[in-house]
Amino acid sequence: MKYKEYQYLIYSDLYRIVGNKKVSYLIKQIFLGESFKYIFWMRTSRYFSKNIFFKYTLYPIARVLLNHYKYKFGIDISYKTNIGSGFYIGHFSGIIVSSQSKIGNNCNISQGVTIGQVNRGKNKGYPILGDNVYIGAGAKIIGNIKIGNNVAIGANCVVTKDIPDNGVVVGIPGKVISYDGSLSYVNRTDY
């Protein structure tokens, strides 16, 4: 990962959360923001791990801070997880994302969300999420499934099957109830 890519990811995440990309907002969110603070150290740990100079100097410090915030905020998203730009965590606590999962651009994750693997059966593997996906509080996305672009997943929904683009999914197990998508749920994508 190059510095420009790292910088772009940080500022796109910042813009999605506060609606501004000024350095003063960045500094304020690093010290005072809960979800951005975690996202910042997650992205920083990934960047430092890929840079030979930082890997043996600043990377260990970034990992210690990331682990500290993991337990403080109840968010378990590995720095190795492939996450696109504009990542947004609405409320912290109880969020678990498998490190092998893939998350597209402009994903909104609420509290209590699990994105995890299945160890056996026809859905053995990890989820892949498209762009502009909204995931409601308490939702579970499990197994080798593909979530399309512009999908809205309702609160406490359990998704175990592929979801097409623009689907709105609710229930246990998750069922598509409309194709209105996540348009009104995913904001500030013009960074």
Bridge partners (DSSP) of residue 77 are 97
Instruction: Respond yes or no: is residue 68 known to be catalytic.
Output: no
**Residue closest to 108 by CA, chosen among 41, 183, 10:** 183
* CA dist., res. 123 & res. 126, Å (int): 8
The DSSP line for 7-43 is HHHHHHHHHHHHS---HHHHHHHHHH-HHHHHHHHHH
* CA dist., res. 143 & res. 123, Å (int): 5
Burial environment of residue 50 by CB neighbours within 10 A (0 to 12, 13 to 18, 19 or more): middle
> 28, 63, 70, 91: which is the annotated catalytic residue?
91
The DSSP line for 60-73 is HHHHHHHHHHHHHH
Q: Whole-angstrom distance between the N-terminal and C-terminal Cα of the chain? A: 20
Bridge partners (DSSP) of residue 82 are 102
Active site residues: 91
